Amino acid sequence: MKPDVTLYDTTLRDGAQAEGINFSTADKLHIAERLDLFGVHYIEGGWPGSNPKDIEFFERAKSLKFTHARLAAFGSTRRQGVRVEDDPQVRTLLEADTPVVTIFGKTWLLHVHEVLRTTPEENLAMIEQTVAYLKAAGRLRAGLPAGGAQGGGRCLGALRYERRLAARLCRRGDPAGGGGGGRGDRHPHP
């Protein structure tokens, strides 16, 4: 019987960003094992390649044998102007060798223009091409989470996404096949 709720835990990434928290690699491995024993379905291990501790964690996590959980690597879409297969950050996500990869994309036009310094069309291409690439590699099994938009909404959980841009992505029907019909708040059952 499938569970009614699928748990996606971000303690090892988001939890590590709390004031006064400084997990060692051994801490992260121990926490991951405990989360698995608890029955968590997905454990987000962090951002591979972002720092020496996360590099070591993903290397050592390859030897962990989970009973319930699937380990997820976290990262972003490809960079502007870089082919997805040439993007070093996307390559690092695959090299983490996790069964699942979770990515985020910019979901607010202010960020698209001011942070990415790109157009809405290029932003959509970055999202779609990254999702398609990871899906083809067999790693992306969930929809794209909306950065900062938690728990609900359709089409990237578009709480902060510009309506017309979100509507265009929804109309495209998740052509990259990320799963969940473009819902960013839904992860598949293991």
Q: How many CB atoms lie within 10 A of CB 142?
A: 23
Residue 155 banded pLDDT, cuts 50, 70, 90:
very low
Predicted confidence (pLDDT) per residue in 21-37, tens digit: 999 999 999 999 999 99
User: Residue 168 has what pLDDT?
Assistant: 62
User: Residue 172 has what pLDDT?
Assistant: 56
User: Residue 159 has what pLDDT?
Assistant: 38
Given a contact cutoff of 8 angstroms between Cβ atoms, the answer to whether 12 and 43 are in contact is: yes
Instruction: Parse the chain into domains and list their residue ranges.
Output: 8-182
Write b or e for each residue in 58-78: b if 16 or more Cβ atoms lie within 10 A of its Cβ, otherwise e: beebeeeebebbbbbbbbbbb
CATH T-level fold of 8-182: TIM Barrel (3.20.20)
Given a contact cutoff of 8 angstroms between Cβ atoms, the answer to whether 47 and 29 are in contact is: no
Structure tokens at 74: 């976290």
CA-CA distances (angstroms) from residue 147 to 14, 30, 103, 178? 12, 27, 9, 16
Tell me: pLDDT of 190 over 90: no
Tell me: pLDDT of 70 over 70: yes
Tell me: pLDDT of 61 over 60: yes
